[in-house]
Amino acid sequence: MEFARATRSVLIASIFLSGVISTGCPMEKSFIFFPEKEIVETPADVGLAFEDVYLNTSDGVKINGWFVPSSGARTTLLWFHGNAGNIGHRVEPLHRMHDALNVNILMIDYREYGKSNGEVSEEGTYRDAIAAYDYLLTRSDVDPKRIVLFGQSLGAGVAVELALKRKAAGLILEAPFTSIAAMAKAAFPWLPIGGLLSTRYDNLSKIARVNVPLLILQGDRDEVVPYAQGRQLFEAAKEPKTFYTIQGAGHNDTYLIGGEPYHRALFRFIERLH
């Protein structure tokens, strides 16, 4: 579900090529974001207790998320998903993560995704992330010193930005990219559209300013985000940092192919955090 809809993206790229789109055009959203409104599954469908929460952002947008508690959990994972679908498409990996790590989990839908209101944008996703983090600070069952940010694919850009604005115990990035411009170049090397995009998510320029322990995970067969981009981010980041290669995994099957060793890498990282 991350950086999905290749056929549609090729069509949009052809529009870029024709010169119809200029910087900041709303059509740019269709190249980057693929929200869906229908929630096809909830944690209750896999036997998990959860709270359906609604949060107000600083610019007045109401967003939706799930808080999934874990008995005796010391750590809370704030989860930012990729660019396609919504939280309802991520119940299985959420369930596996919850069981393997014994952490509370808050997963949100960005504005325009699922039951969240508003229209999605880069700045909007950053505001959504701050609202989610600040909500966690209001909960008596969340240790504010043990909030770990987890960003997958597009969500990596959201998590990196939040790590610069709020305190976190750690930062986990799965299948992260260096920037939207770099992704556009990787997807369409023959089409110079990077400079036309106002949406940046420029993770590479930000990562060296992140001052929390970092874990990057990426499949060595990632067919969407080049493996080299994850490595490039890792090299630019400060210590302490860890890179975990998920052998044989692509972009959307990391938790399936990675299995127990994947979850063990996450568990070890979280347990080492002070």
205-239 pLDDT, tens digit per residue, is 999 999 999 999 999 999 999 999 999 999 999 99
148-181 pLDDT, tens digit per residue, is 999 999 999 999 999 999 999 999 999 999 999 9
CA angle 135, 140, 145 (to 5 degrees): 75
Check if 153 is active-site.
Answer: yes
Please tell me the distance from the alpha carbon of residue 16 to that of residue 4, in angstroms, as a whole number: 18
Closest CA to 70 of 87, 51, 49, 89: 49
State the pTM of this model: 0.92
SS3 82: coil
For 25-43, letters b (16+ CB in 10 Å) and e give beebbbbbbbbbeebeeeb
User: Tokens 């067919």 correspond to what residue?
Assistant: 223
Check if 143 is active-site.
Answer: no
Catalytic residue among 251, 253, 263, 274: 251
Say which amino acid occupies 120. V
Closest CA to 149 of 167, 127, 122: 167
Catalytic residue among 70, 121, 153, 179: 153
Q: Is the pLDDT of residue 194 over 90?
A: no
